């Protein structure tokens, strides 16, 4: 609403100028009345009314900002408008109004897309549940479910509320909630989290929590809570506000005192109008955002670039962010000298080739097609494993208790499938998350770019998380975290290690993305949970490449360097012009024209943010 209000201000000022021009030059408007030496023709009255209204509006904003402890350069704009009204220089006044409202509009364009609602997350919230009443299915609203109700969860359906299985066994995909890369088998008595997705078998569940108290809905609440408490951040131009305002007022005041003419003060105030300062940073930020887009990174607000440029701590989710959300074969361990590793993997993959389970499909994908043979007499035992005949051998693949009872003491901490051949335990195959090939280099480059702390925040198991972290080059590992614990980990980062950048891809990452100073979502189309993460993030990487985080940091650093140079250049040029106006050689109207020249210089410098950052900013050079 505020952005729309500012755009309307700009439009009203342009319309007032057009009407004023028509009135003055086409209709030859005459003065309606005069006060002393001041004449008030129609066009002057129109522009003065607009100028007074804009000045009052700006004053109200200034008082509001002062209450919150923020001091900007807007007070100079008010003084400039009032000064031109008092000396009767209508078109100098109009020029100031154009640049003032135009700068605000440009600033809004650069920073106006923050704080979007999590539409995707809300759209995915379960709304209908299959309630069982006397053995019959009745569709009810999720909000109407009561603790103790029995609900049927069909294959492929999302769990509507938190509950406990009372009948059936199935695997549940919890990756978008906890970050676990492998579906978890749930048996009668086990707890189910709302938002998890059922596998291939229907189960009956007793409701243990109402919808508003369930896990999925709590994630939505966490995101809204984080959005309601945005981090405080001072805009770049405001950092120079007080010294620039003081210097300009001193120059204008001395000019008035020396000349004894209030017009001289007004002439200085016109060239002191802060339009170049208001435009400098937004132009650079828009250019930087454009450069981000060219690198397949969508940045939703200008302040995101400022925070990214100063970021000291980077946090990453594991599954789907540092890894590819895909399992690969890690080890093949044989227990029978009759089989070598290649043959054991061949037999296991052959039996698993018709299974849709993520472990089975990953094993088959990791096995050479020539090693996968036809299988007969295939039989699947729900949540246990599969068995069948391959090349005259009866092969069982799955859980250890299913494949080889009596070997339960075997301690394997990784994700694994066990294999028996003709009733004899033959070995096991471990799988691990497939690391993105660019992840280790991304972490290394972030350190070169100035990162002081890099941590992994994941809901996956400790052993799995530590293996991935070691391969990626991360030493600060936080595992088995719920969404609320991820938020707390981000909040606990000390002030001297901020801003904090969080990168993630799933629904479970949405709250921590909004809690971080900068949230970056791996938002490649089709990624699980990517839409929800993208809506809650400040920046979205549109390609499946984590190294784009490096590009985002590099472009941000380059953009802010250009913006700082631009602002300081604008200040320097304006002060020089103020000193010239001090002598009285620049009438107010021409002072406003000079402001336009400074604005053009400012815009030209700001556009340099589109140029390529240096290799050092990209983290490609050794420190």
The residues annotated with a catalytic role in the active site are 317
Round to whole Å and give the CA distance between 380 and 354: 10
User: Within 10 A of 187 (CB to CB), how many other CB atoms are there?
Assistant: 11
Can you read off the two tokens belonging to residue 9? 């201000």
Three-state secondary structure call for residue 548: helix
Round to whole Å and give the CA distance between 1 and 467: 48
Round to whole Å and give the CA distance between 300 and 282: 13
Cα–Cα–Cα angle for 355, 361, 364, rounded to 5 degrees: 105
Round to whole Å and give the CA distance between 263 and 329: 81
Comparing CA positions, the residue from 66, 104, 73 lying closest to residue 241 is 73
Contact 388, 378 (CB under 8 A): yes
User: Which letter, b or e, does each residue of 25-57 get, where b requires 16 or more Cβ atoms within 10 Å of its Cβ?
Assistant: eeeebeeeeeeeeeeebbbbbbbbebbeebbee
* DSSP letter for each residue of 363-432: HHHTS-GGG----EEEEEETTTEEEEEETTEEEEEE-HHHH-TT-TT----SEEEEEEETTEEEEEEEEE
Query: How far, rounded to the nearest angstrom, does the alpha carbon of residue 497 sit from its chain's CA centroid?
Result: 19
Comparing CA positions, the residue from 321, 140, 121 lying closest to residue 215 is 121
Any residues with CB less than 8 A from the CB of 457 and at least 6 apart, and which?
Answer: 315, 316, 317, 478, 481, 486, 489, 490, 502, 512
Any residues with CB less than 8 A from the CB of 188 and at least 6 apart, and which?
Answer: 165, 166, 167, 168, 169
Contact 11, 101 (CB under 8 A): no
- Hunting for tokens 């941000």 — which residue is that? 556
Any residues with CB less than 8 A from the CB of 128 and at least 6 apart, and which?
Answer: 139, 140, 141, 142, 160
User: Within 10 A of 493 (CB to CB), how many other CB atoms are there?
Assistant: 18
Round to whole Å and give the CA distance between 183 and 186: 9
């Amino acid at each position: 609403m505020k952005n729309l209000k500012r755009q309307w201000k700009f439009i009203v000022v342009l319309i007032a100028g057009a009407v004023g021009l028509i009135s003055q030059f086409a209709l030859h408007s005459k003065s309606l009345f005069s006060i002393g030496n001041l004449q008030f023709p129609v066009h002057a009255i129109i522009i003065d009314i607009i100028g007074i209204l804009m000045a009052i509006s700006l004053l109200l904003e200034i008082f509001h900002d002062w209450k919150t402890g923020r001091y900007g350069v807007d007070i100079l704009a008010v003084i400039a408008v009032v000064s031109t009204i008092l000396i009767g220089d209508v078109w100098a006044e109009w020029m100031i109004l154009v640049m003032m409202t135009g700068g605000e509009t440009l600033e809004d364009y650069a920073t106006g897309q923050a704080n979007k609602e999590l539409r995707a997350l809300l759209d995915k919230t379960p709304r209908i549940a299959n309630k069982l009443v006397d053995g019959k299915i009745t569709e009810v609203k999720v909000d109407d479910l009561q603790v103790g109700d029995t609900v049927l969860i069909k294959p492929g359906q999302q769990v509507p509320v938190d509950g406990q299985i009372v009948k059936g066994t199935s695997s549940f995909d919890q990756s978008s909630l906890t970050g676990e890369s492998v579906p978890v088998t749930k048996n009668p008595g086990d707890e189910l989290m709302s938002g998890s997705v059922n596998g291939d078998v229907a189960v009956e569940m007793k409701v243990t929590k109402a919808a508003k108290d369930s896990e999925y809905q709590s994630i939505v609440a966490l995101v809204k809570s984080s959005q309601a408490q945005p981090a405080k951040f001072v805009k770049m131009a405001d950092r120079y506000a007080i010294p620039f305002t003081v210097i300009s007022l001193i120059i204008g005041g001395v000019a008035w005192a020396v000349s004894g003419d209030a017009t001289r003060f007004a002439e200085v105030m016109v060239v002191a109008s802060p339009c170049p300062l208001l435009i400098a940073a937004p132009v650079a930020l828009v250019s930087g955002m454009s450069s981000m887009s060219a690198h397949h990174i969508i940045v939703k607000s200008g302040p995101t670039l400022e925070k990214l440029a100063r970021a000291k701590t980077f946090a990453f989710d594991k599954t789907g962010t540092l890894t590819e959300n895909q399992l690969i074969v890690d080890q093949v361990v044989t227990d029978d000298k009759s089989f070598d590793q290649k043959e054991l993997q061949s037999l296991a993959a052959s039996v698993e080739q018709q299974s849709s389970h993520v472990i089975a499909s990953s094993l088959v994908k990791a096995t050479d097609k020539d090693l996968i043979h036809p299988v007969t007499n295939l039989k699947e035992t729900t949540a246990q494993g599969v068995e069948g005949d391959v090349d005259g051998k009866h092969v069982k693949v799955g859980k250890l208790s299913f494949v080889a009872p009596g070997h339960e003491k075997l301690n394997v901490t990784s994700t694994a499938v066990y294999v028996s051949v003709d009733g004899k335990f033959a070995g096991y195959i471990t799988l691990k998350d497939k690391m993105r090939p660019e992840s280790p280099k991304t972490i290394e480059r972030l350190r070169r770019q100035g990162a002081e702390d890099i941590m992994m925040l994941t809901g996956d198991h400790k052993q799995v998380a530590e293996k991935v972290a070691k391969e990626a080059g991360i030493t600060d590992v936080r595992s088995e975290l719920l969404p609320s614990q991820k938020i707390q980990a981000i909040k606990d980062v000390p002030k001297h290690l901020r801003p904090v950048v969080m990168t993630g891809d799933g629904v479970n990452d949405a709250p921590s993305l909004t809690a971080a100073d900068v949230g970056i979502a791996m938002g490649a189309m089709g990624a699980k949970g990517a839409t929800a993460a993208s809506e809650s993030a400040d920046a979205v990487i549109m390609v499946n490449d984590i190294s784009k985080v490096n590009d985002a940091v590099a472009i941000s650093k380059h953009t802010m360097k250009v913006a700082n140079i631009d602002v300081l250049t604008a200040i320097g040029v304006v002060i020089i012009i103020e000193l010239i106006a001090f002598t009285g050689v620049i009438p107010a109207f021409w002072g406003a024209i000079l402001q336009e020249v400074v604005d053009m210089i400012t815009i030209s410098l700001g556009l340099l943010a589109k140029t390529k950052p240096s290799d050092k900013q990209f983290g490609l050079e050794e420190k």
